[in-house]
Amino acid sequence: MPPHRKRGRPPNAFYEQRGLTPPSRQSHNREQPPPPPREPQPPVNIFSHPIYNLPIPPPNSVESQLLNDEVDVFSFRQSAAFKFKLNNELLENVLSKFVPFTKIVPPSSFPVCLVNGKTIDAENVSSEEEIRQSLEKPTAADSHCGNLRVMKLKQEYQRKLIDQLESETINENIDERFAYETEKINLLSDTFQDYDVTKLDQFELMVDSITDDLKAKFNMKIQDDELFKKYRLDFEQRKCTLEEYRQASESILRRRKEAEDRKLRLEQELAEKKRQEEELMHKQRQEEEQRRALEAQNRRSEEASAMPVPNATPAQQEILGEAHFDDPFTAGAQNGNFEFDNNLLYAGSDDLMIGDDGAFGALDDQVFLDNLHGNLE
């Protein structure tokens, strides 16, 4: 077999005789034509399957209630299961490993053990003498809890203190009153254990006798303290008849009504008195205002009368005699040509002052005020 047959591809002459380009001479970088456009597939409705078109029957009330209950407790069950697994792991971890007692931290309910203001721990260990002195004379900064060694010393100190207190009081003489009270208290306690309704009279007699003995022997007065106040009385304990009770009730109601009437009458009297005081004050205020207004008017009149009036010259007297002054505020026609809003320096006609040869002299403010006052009058 020719060698080219072994390679599985014919020689180049085979392609050249047929007018083709051999594969060895073909360019592999030639761009491939773009693939033909593909039409998009139509959308598929997954709910078109017959299984989705089957009717779903509604659940009955029992099944729906059970389903709601399961949903409500699902989170609780999940949390409980998680905590159960976690606790088991923690317990197994504690029980399967060796933990030194010095490394165990006491619970937070126990405070830090303090002796003379210093913390008691493995690094800072106080002597027993210092701890005993702190127990005998504790301060506000000391705390004898949270350390087993300190707590045992405290227990030993408390036992010693109890024995000391018992030895101090055991030899003291007990007076007669203490012995009598102790005996009677024990007697009342034993009697109360066997208390019965039928023994009420006997029990009351015993209590009365003990009260009399305490008063006679030891001058003690026992005061009854009732836990329950008795509102209803028996017919034998009532001290009045039905008619007397009615009269007493009417008397109480009458006194109550009289008290209310007195209170109402007193309030009315106070209101009337207050009203009269307000009227009197108002009247006095009006009189004071009238008096001040009258004084102001008199003062203005006195000031106006005290003003000096200049003596008119013969020419002025002649002009004043010929001029006619009427009230400028009247609705009728005025005599002369006086105008209120005209120049008030001239009391008469303006043409009378034209031919004057200066006989009037200089006109001042006093002439103006006199002319105004004379025309207003």
Give dist(CA 234, CA 369) in Å, integer: 106
Identity of the residue numbered 274: K
pLDDT, residue 147, reads 81
- Annotate the chain with three-state secondary structure: CCHHHHHCCCCHHHHHCCCCCCCCCCCCCCCCCCCCCCCCCCCCCHHHCHHHHCCCCCCCHHHHHHHHHHHHHHHHHHHHHHHHHHHHHHHHHHHHCCCCHHHCCCCCCCCCCEECCEECCCCCCCCHHHHHHHHHCCCCCCECCCCHHHHHHHHHHHHHHHHHHHHHHCCCCCCHHHHHHHHHHHHHHHHHHCCCHHHHHHHHHHHHHHHHHHHHHCCCCCCCCCCCCCCCCCCCCCCCCHHHHHHHHHHHHHHHHHHHHHHHHHHHHHHHHHHHHHHHHHHHHHHHHHHHHHHHHHHHHHHHHHCCCCCCCHHHHHHHHHCCCCCCCCCCCCCCCCCCCCCCCCCCCHHHHCCCCCCCCCCCHHHHHHHHHHHHC
pLDDT, residue 48, reads 73
Q: Which residues contact 59 (CB under 8 A, 6 or more apart)?
A: 67
- Tell me which residue has tokens 């009045």: 240
pLDDT, residue 366, reads 65
The pLDDT tens digits of the residues spanning 156-209 come to 999 999 888 877 766 666 678 888 888 999 998 888 888 777 888 888 899 889
Give dist(CA 145, CA 110) in Å, integer: 6
Give dist(CA 1, CA 10) in Å, integer: 12
- What CA–CA distances, in Å, run from 272 to 265, 277, 283, 369? 10, 9, 16, 55
pLDDT, residue 331, reads 47
pLDDT, residue 353, reads 46
Give dist(CA 282, CA 72) in Å, integer: 80
Contact 117, 142 (CB under 8 A): yes
pLDDT, residue 352, reads 44
Closest CA to 325 of 367, 368, 372: 372
pLDDT tens by residue, the chain, 377 residues: 455 455 556 667 777 777 777 776 666 556 667 778 888 887 777 777 777 777 777 766 666 666 666 666 778 888 888 888 888 888 877 777 777 777 777 666 667 788 887 887 656 667 888 888 888 888 888 888 878 888 899 999 999 998 888 777 666 666 788 888 889 999 988 888 887 778 888 888 998 899 899 888 888 888 777 666 666 655 555 566 778 888 888 999 999 999 999 999 999 999 999 999 999 999 999 999 999 999 998 888 888 887 765 555 555 555 555 555 555 555 444 444 444 444 444 444 444 444 445 445 445 566 667 776 666 65
Pairing of β 114-115 and β 118-119: antiparallel
Give dist(CA 208, CA 188) in Å, integer: 12
The pLDDT tens digits of the residues spanning 23-79 come to 766 665 566 677 788 888 877 777 777 777 777 777 666 666 666 666 667 788 888
pLDDT, residue 141, reads 81
Radius of gyration of the chain (CA): 65
